[in-house]
Structure 1
Amino acid sequence: MLQKLPRDILLMILEQIPCRTDLKQLCEVSKTLYDAAIRKLYEIIVIRAEDDWHLERVEVEPFLRTRSKPTSPLDHVRTVEVQSSFHHVLKERCLHYKDMGFYVGMPESERRPRLEKLTTSLMPLFEQLREESLRKFSWEMGTCVPLEILGDRGYITNKQTSIESISLITGGACPINTDGENAIDLSAFRSLRHISWTGLQSSEEFAALSRALKNNSERLRELRLDFVNWSEEDSFDFDDSQNFFASQVLKLSADRFEVMFPALETLSLSDISLENAQKGIAYAFNFHELSSLTLHHCSGSEEFLTEVIGSGQTIRLSSLEVVWGPSDHDIDMCATLSSFLGAFQGLKDLFVSLPGPVDTLELWRSIIHHKSTLTRFVCHQRSVDLHDNSPHFEEEIDLLDLSLLPEDRAELDRSESRHPFAALNLESIGLGCVPQHLKSILAPFITSPTLKILHIRKSGVDMEGYKRRSRGTSFWDLDSDEGSFTDEELGLDLDPDVMTGSDGSSNASMSNSGKPPSSTHSTASLDSLEYAEIQCLPTELREFTNWAFGPHGLPTLEVLAFGDFSYDGRFDVRNKLFCRRTRSTGYPGDDTWQQIHDKLVLTFRPVRENDRKLWDVIDRNTEFLKACPTDSILDD
């Protein structure tokens, strides 16, 4: 039967299978399925470092073993991604640092540069790829890229010039890099549609980026740049009366305003000054075509957005993300954003983090202009703690009331149809706010049938700081058991039939960090680890979550997320994911299910690995959950 199925149809079916394990199993069923699935299985290969501390340790042997097959599966590779986590080592991360004076006491046989070890591991794999077969190359390690890979004589530079996408997170302030001794060469690539680069520092790197932009300006669809921990003060005898990004990277003329990137759809700029060149940059990026704009800590952003409005270009953005912190220049970004949002329609995603206090209600009212399209919204605020007796004095912290004064909250309580969110059809909302204020903010969604995911945002750096420095406990201290419910107060029956599966084996709980262990229990019962996780939640969060999933809460809510989901799990140990808890004996809308003998019965539970539909919701909202990060990916 499979032999009769047109190959194009079979390949279309395989495209709908995202799980590599499933693809591998299909390859073992028959030769027909092997020939079709092997292409999909090897289309993307990801090489991941062991951890932040051992970036030179990568496992490529499983790929190399495929060389013994008559037709190498590596012939089908179109994307190579070399990756690492960015969870623990954020400063002086490049492998060159580890080779500077760290050989003391090490056997002579092991005194080998770590970057050389990494290169030696990777090159045999690269050399097995078909020439000009790659379409995407990604180096997201936070280290210098070996010259053998991306130098002027490197493998990618000379053997894979047809790539259409390149993504780099490089070594930042590594002294070898800043001295120009590890120069990246992008001049051979003339088909790039996507360029992403984080961690540029040396003049050679900026020159390489400038050449790549010039060579690919007509076809570029996506540009993501992060000049993290770099400033124009470091700009190599540059005339500070000009804008470095505009004159030295984009090579814009000071007196001509013209489109440089006619096909650009996605633009993300972080830690890049736009000052003194806002008008030229506004024209260069062609807002007639741009659909996604991200600005993180870019000085001059206020004037830039104003210039975009004044340029007369038709703004067609569907996604806008703006992050502006207390340490950035003191401007009224809130008012600028409100004006910008009123200048066009059509946003689907709006993610905003601003320094508080600001006029939050003014900002919220301005988004009504996008009520027919907006489905995902994030609002986060940061401030500086100026309380003399605070252990966090003069540190940046989350502003947990979102600048809402008592009279603002009273207005939300009584406005009903005039509530800023009443006319919106939001499916996802993220708010950096304590639960005690959330009920009035979320009131329209009690009767609205749209909201699926709620993210109670808390910056990971704050949670870690509070844990290290605070005395006693706070709402955000998830490791505290102060205020925990007893078994009786929770109204839970913790007998062995509920605590274990039918076979008597204990069911493991989902940890909410990374992939949870498998579980076989029913949707109603809680195992011991899930129960302990809920019991240790701060009272405010537990009570609010119980309300949200209860009969008087948010009826369409599927997932409640808590914490900081930026940088692929950097703060996962404190993050939480909860969902509705159903029971065979009742329905959440039935008050008899909610109260049993005046004892609180839980309406929620942790998300489990086998909650596939919920994981689909979470996966579709990855960009939403990790939006507006508080800290940087690197800290050089």
Structure 2
Amino acid sequence: MDSLTNSPSWNYATCIPSEVLEYLSRKHPSIQILNFVTDPFCSRFNRWNRTTDMNLSAFNNIRRFSWKAPMGCHFDNIANLVRTNADILEELEVDLQSWSRQWEDREMRVVKKKADPEEWEEWDKIPASTMLAREMFGLDFDSVEQTSFPKMQALRLSRVPLRDETTGKALTTASINMGGLRSLILRMCPHWVLLLQDMVRSTSPIEVKSFEILDFYLKTPPVTAVKKATAIADFLDSFTGLEELFISHCGPIPALKFWDHLKGHASTLKMFVHHQRTTDHDDELLTSRMGRDSSYLTIPRDERDRVREDPTLNPLSRLNLEFIGLTCEPKYLRDILLPFTSKNSLKCLHIRQTAVNAATSPSWVFNKALEIRIIEAEQKGRPINDTTRSDNSLDFQSKQDIAEGLEDILVAMKERREWKTPPLKRSFRHFVDWAFGPTGIASLEYIVAGDLSHRSRYSESNALICRSVGGGMRYRVIKQQNAGEEWRDVKSRFGMALEACPVENTVPEYH
């Protein structure tokens, strides 16, 4: 636990002993900050029972409240604490678990419908997350007005519905301190479009500096995907002054056209993430439920040729970004990033590749097939080029991956020896040679590759590429497992952007 008198935090992804909270409520009831990361499968409670021995009613001076991965039985605790402290809450974060299909039906509440005295009583089966939103934001049938948050500065919600489909009520700007709201994060929140549209229509100016939207429902029809992208674009067009923008959505939305809507924030925007995902049609694979990354940002070849010939036609040319994170194969990145060769702003590039798809999507960075062949050659004591020629068991793609010339093989073996990493893919090596070369991006300090949305969960597959001084190479590669000063530096400066738009749960499902 952190300092008990200031900001107690339970960030262990385990059950919170009620005795700890009881002690805090008795000894330190004036606490202003509470941060929890708990285990949503905790065996201490009956997770399908609404009752719990936890009591947060003593905490009525909370300015900042965050709870990630709560159990359903704790939803009432959350709603009560939020309502009690609504007048003084400055930061609110609620991150709900995304349940696999077999558990979803258990996360329900059975409640009485709004009664008509002359009719029989009827009951509704309501998702627990909807009931949480109903109670937390005042979206019930009988609520005269919604819960008001006059001092709200940061609102961060994950998988919390923003509209109650039973009552027809939605969270609106009337509840939020529009003049003071600086950070808005909406991850997988049903009906988020309604809130953005209400913010656009509001007469109060939008003062948001950091905005994140994560939405990748895989069965989203193309027409719906376009409507959602339009809602984001209209929101971006309605104000100026954004400093951080993190977008992840599902659907073939042309990136260059979408980036045109960043122009109103050109003088202030410093960090930008655009993570596109598409539906994976392989229904046999468990990971296909999460889709897969788009490899080219829906930028057709003719458009890519156009911005390569004239980089000023690229909407990114208007921006002075310090950080950019994209889901894009390295072989396409050079054309996209050309505007930054004439600027002195870009410090960090994040090539985002979702780790949950690693089993079905080859790495854009490391040549794993060649790594296997090198290891086999070393074990058998023969040259690697003999191994790559003689093996007829490989499929066409694998043969392509390892069909390197002798010079490339020597480079790959040197990379393994010096960096203790798998050899780089030729396309990635060529891109990094350009990026850190004389015609590349002179201001660039780091290229981060992989999935850092949950910090070190996938450290084995993540890599940091930074400039090298001496040694004959322009750069060097450091795996996250071998984290040192460079990793600490890039995380301290760009950690929020690196972790933005996580596809997976805070706590992996294990029950």
**TM-score of the superposed pair, with normalisation by structure 2:** 0.79
Shift of 1:174: 3.9
Is 2:498 the partner of 1:628?
A: no
Q: In the TM superposition, what is the alpha-carbon distance from 1:393 to its structure 2 partner?
A: 6.6
- The corresponding residue for 2:152 is 264
Distance 1:326 1:159 in 2: 45
What is the CA–CA distance in structure 2 between the aligned matches of 1:630 and 1:360, rounded to whole Å? 20
Q: CA deviation at 1:395?
A: 6.0
Does 1:159 find its partner at 2:27?
A: yes
- Are 1:480 and 2:351 an aligned pair? no
Which blocks of at least 5 consecutive residues in structure 2 are unaligned? 114-123, 371-400
1:208 Cα deviation (Å)? 1.4
- The alpha-carbon deviation at position 252 of structure 1 amounts to 4.5
1:168 aligns with 2:36: yes
Q: Unaligned regions of 5+ residues in structure 1, if any?
A: 1-45, 47-78, 81-132, 495-525, 585-600
Q: Please tell me whether residue 138 in structure 1 is matched to residue 9 in structure 2.
A: yes
CA distance in 1, matches of 2:464, 2:343: 22
Over aligned residues, Cα RMSD in angstroms? 3.2
CA contact (8 A) 2:137 2:171 kept: no
Letter in 2 for 1:166: L
For 1:181 and 1:259, the matched residues in 2 are separated by 24
> Residues of 2 paired with 1:181 and 1:247: CA distance?
18
State which drifts further: 479-488 or 297-306: 479-488
Alignment partner, residue 396 of structure 1 = 291
Q: Which residue of 1 aligns with 2:88?
A: 219
- Quick check: 1:200 aligned with 2:88? no
- Is 1:368 aligned to 2:259, yes or no? no
Distance, in Å, in 2 between the alignment partners of 1:413 and 1:355 is 26
CA drift of 1:619 comes to 1.3
2:131 to 244, 262, 280: 244
**How far is the alpha carbon of 1:340 from its aligned partner?**
0.4
Judge conservation of contact 2:212–2:247 (CA < 8 Å) in 1: yes
- Superposition map of 1:1-20 within 5 A: none
Q: How far apart are residue 202 of structure 1 and its match?
A: 3.3
| AA matched with 2:436 | F
**What CA distance in whole angstroms lies between the structure 1 residues aligned with 2:149 and 2:35?**
18
Aligned CA distance change for structure 1 residues 428 and 326 (closer, same or farther; 3 Å):
same
Indicate the residue corresponding to 1:452 in structure 2: 347
Distance 1:177 1:282, change over 3 A: farther
Deviation at 1:221, TM superposition (A): 1.3
Q: Distance in 1 between matches of 2:354 and 2:501?
A: 10
Match of 1:429, SS state, is strand
Give the C-alpha shift of residue 144 in structure 1: 2.3
1:42-81 aligned within 5 A: 79-80=2-3
Instruction: Mark the CA change 1:407 to 1:583 in structure 2 (over 3 Å): closer, same or farther.
Output: same
Aligned equivalent of 2:433: 546
TM-aligned CA distance change 1:252 to 1:543, over 3 Å: same
Secondary structure of the 2:369 match is coil
Q: 1:183 is paired with a residue of what secondary structure?
A: coil
By how many angstroms is 1:189 displaced? 1.0
Question: SS state of the match for residue 453, structure 2?
Answer: coil
Change (3 A) 1:485 1:582: farther
Pick the aligned partner of 1:564 from 416, 433, 451: 451
Change in CA separation of 1:390 and 1:569 when aligned onto 2, cut-off 3 Å: closer
Structure whose CA Rg is larger: 1
Change (3 A) 1:478 1:623: farther
Matched, 1:310 2:201: yes
CA distance in 2, matches of 1:444, 1:409: 13
Query: Equivalent residue for 2:489?
Result: 616
AA paired with 1:220? L
Whether contact under 8 Å (1:377, 1:429) holds in the other structure is yes
Do the aligned partners of 2:218 and 2:289 also contact (CA within 8 Å) in 1?
no
Summarize deviations over 1:436-468 as a string: whole Å, max 9, x none. Answer: 1111110100111110000000001012x23xx
1:301 to 178, 192, 209: 192
Contact 2:353 2:450 in 1 (8 A): yes
Choose from 224, 228, 234 the match for 2:107. 234
Separation of aligned partners in 2, 1:245 and 1:442: 43
By how many angstroms is 1:390 displaced?
9.7
**1:241-293 deviation per Cα after TM superposition (whole angstroms, max 9, x unaligned):** 99534432223566755671111111111011112467544321222211000
1:184 aligns with 2:54: yes
Alpha-carbon distance, 1:618 to partner:
3.5
Higher deviation after alignment, 315-324 or 545-554: 545-554
The count of residues paired between Structure 1 and Structure 2 equals 449
SS at match of 1:333: helix
Is the contact made by 1:272 and 1:299 (CA closer than 8 Å) also made in structure 2?
A: yes
Q: Which residue of 2 aligns with 1:582?
A: 469
How far apart, in 2, do the equivalents of 1:211 and 1:342 lie?
A: 36
**Counterparts of residues 73-152 of structure 1 (less than 5 Å):** 79-80=2-3, 134-150=5-21
Distance 1:366 1:341 in 2: 6
